[in-house]
Chain A
């Protein structure tokens, strides 16, 4: 598992207060991990901070699962 995936999952665990085991790649923030719409905004901000990327609002709206976040960050950060 890549370093990016680990860091994304760590942020999700911290911000949503969920067990690490529940944070699978296919887990949906809202449907599976108990987030509300404000939580998802804050999560995206945390990803931006952690990875030094800017996630525009239209892209943020499409980040619904852990995998979505990992894929976006992989595609938008210098390896």
Chain B
């Protein structure tokens, strides 16, 4: 099977624009969770979120005009613009510019989203109700469709290979990277632009997740303390928005052009819970099987994994169930692995989470630093006996890192990245 490496990384998150900017702030323990100012939250139970900070690009803030001309922004929901920004950084970082048509046809895009254009759909429904069908924009459908993130990236960069998308709730980003790697392994492409994007922090999005009792509501007055995976006071996740995009490349292709190689994609495992639409089974067997499958594919044992970027959303049930599965799988090796949830800093980016967190894993490998779990003051009883990297990052050699993503519907994905020597 052909080997696949990561040669480009790019992201936009509540910590700002750009991987380096993100990473610096992440390992310094900064939080991107704030009170929501961009829409009315007075009647919503959750009033906080991880929103992408707007402003000048030179300050590490997000200015959509730098990625999409203002006249075209009307034709895209925000999740597409965020994907365009992360893709632009990632592609530039990789240095990959297809020299001819054949190379363009061997370069594909696979960027997913969990929810897609929810704000556009909400606005469209109001327009339909108040003004009737003649006032619905011809761009309403293309601005909302999830695969249009991949579509716009391909149009902007001229990539004519496989054009695909993934929609698996909070596992989207991980599935997108794993599936894209397989397209390269199977020789359907040499280079894939892969990742996830999400921009569902909106009145309808908050109302929906709050109705499912999934969101933190006890920390509206202390936003940066709200996302606290494994802590005994955790009470739900904090919605986040953003995008993460990687450039995946066949190893020999990357070597031939002298590309910088961050890490190798060695493991990808998937499973289904077949249990409940929003809750994992108590024994976490779906999570267990997903991780086990990724390890098997990677051909390495649990003693070869030095860091786990947990799904760890800060919900009372989910955190302990995932941790229980990790403990069973790792056995005695639980003593040497570090596991943290970066959702403590950026919230839950839903369809973008798996992609952003994969990039954090890659940075942990290349920089030898594992990011912290913020706000972990008092681990709950089921969260003892594991290094959860509480509150501050720490230096540690990471030979291989495992990233978990679990989604509504009982869909699980695990990725393993290994250092490339």
Tell me the A residues contacting B by CB distance below 8 Å: 14-17, 38, 41-42, 45, 48-49, 54
Q: Are A45 and B137 interface neighbours, CB within 8 A?
A: yes
Q: Mark B68-84, 1 if CB is under 8 A from A, else 0.
A: 01111001000000000
Cα–Cα distance between A9 and B102 once the two chains are bound (Å): 43
Looking at the complex, which one of B69, B71, B138 makes contact with A38 (CB distance below 8 Å)? B138
CB < 8 Å neighbour of B134 from A14, A42, A45? A45
> In the complex, A10 Cα to B142 Cα: how many Å?
25
Closest 4 pairs (CB-CB, A-B)? A17-B71, A41-B138, A38-B138, A42-B138
Smallest Cβ-Cβ distance to A37: which chain B residue = B138
**Cβ–Cβ < 8 Å partners of A17 in chain B:** 69-72
- A45 contacts across to B, CB distance below 8 A: 134-135, 137-138
A41 to B135, CA, bound (A): 11
Chain B residues in 8 Å Cβ range of A15? 71
20 extra interchain contacts, Cβ-Cβ under 8 A, other than A16-B71, A38-B138? Answer: A14-B71, A15-B71, A17-B69, A17-B70, A17-B71, A17-B72, A38-B75, A38-B139, A38-B142, A41-B138, A42-B137, A42-B138, A42-B139, A45-B134, A45-B135, A45-B137, A45-B138, A48-B134, A49-B135, A54-B134
B70 partner residues in chain A, CB cutoff 8 A: 17
Q: Chain B binding site: helix, strand, loop or mixed by DSSP?
A: helix
Could you name 22 residue pairs across A and B whose Cβ atoms are closer than 8 Å? A14-B71, A15-B71, A16-B71, A17-B69, A17-B70, A17-B71, A17-B72, A38-B75, A38-B138, A38-B139, A38-B142, A41-B138, A42-B137, A42-B138, A42-B139, A45-B134, A45-B135, A45-B137, A45-B138, A48-B134, A49-B135, A54-B134
The A-B contact count (CB < 8 A) is 22
Question: Which residue of chain B lies nearest to A40 when distances are taken between CB atoms in the complex?
Answer: B138
Distance between Cα atoms of A15 and B138 in the complex (Å): 13
Look across to chain B and name the residue whose beta carbon is closest to the beta carbon of A15: B71
Considering the chains assembled together, what is the distance between the CA atoms of A49 and B69 in angstroms?
A: 24
- CB-nearest residue of chain B relative to A39? B138
Query: In the complex the two chains form, what is the Cα distance from A41 to B75 in whole Å?
Result: 13
Residues of chain B within 8 A of A49, CB atoms compared: 135
Question: What residues on B are CB-neighbors of A42 within 8 Å?
Answer: 137-139
Q: Which B residues between 65 and 111 are near A, CB-CB below 8 angstroms?
A: 69-72, 75
Q: How far is it, in angstroms, between the C-alpha of A38 and the C-alpha of B138 when the chains are bound?
A: 6
CA distance A17 to B75 in the complex (A): 13
A7–B75 Cα distance when bound, in Å, is: 22
Task: Kindly provide the distance from the CB of A71 to the nearest chain B CB, expressed in whole angstroms.
Answer: 22
How many Å lie between the Cα of A4 and that of B197 in the bound state?
A: 42
Measured between beta carbons, the chain B residues less than 8 angstroms from A54 are 134
Complex alpha-carbon distance, A42 and B135, angstroms? 9
Closest Cβ of chain A to B413, distance in Å, is 35
Q: Which of B72, B135, B138 has the most C-beta atoms of chain A within 10 angstroms of its own C-beta?
A: B138
Give CA–CA (A45, B134) in the complex, Å. 8
Residues of A contacting B135 with CB < 8 Å? 45, 49
Residue-wise interface mask of B (134-147) relative to A, using a CB-CB cutoff of 8 A (1 in contact, 0 not)? 11011100100000
**Interface membership of chain B positions 329-361, coded 1 if the CB is closer than 8 angstroms to chain A and 0 otherwise:** 000000000000000000000000000000000
8 A Cβ contacts from B19-75 to A: 69-72, 75
Roughly how many angstroms separate A45 CA and B74 CA in the complex, as a whole number? 14
- Complex alpha-carbon distance, A41 and B134, angstroms: 10
Residues of B within 8 A of A48 (CB): 134
CB distance from B130 to the nearest CB of A (A): 13
Smallest CB–CB gap between B25 and chain A, Å?
Answer: 34
Which residues of A are found within 8 Å of B138, using beta-carbon distances? Answer: 38, 41-42, 45
A76 and B120 alpha carbons, distance in the complex (Å): 32
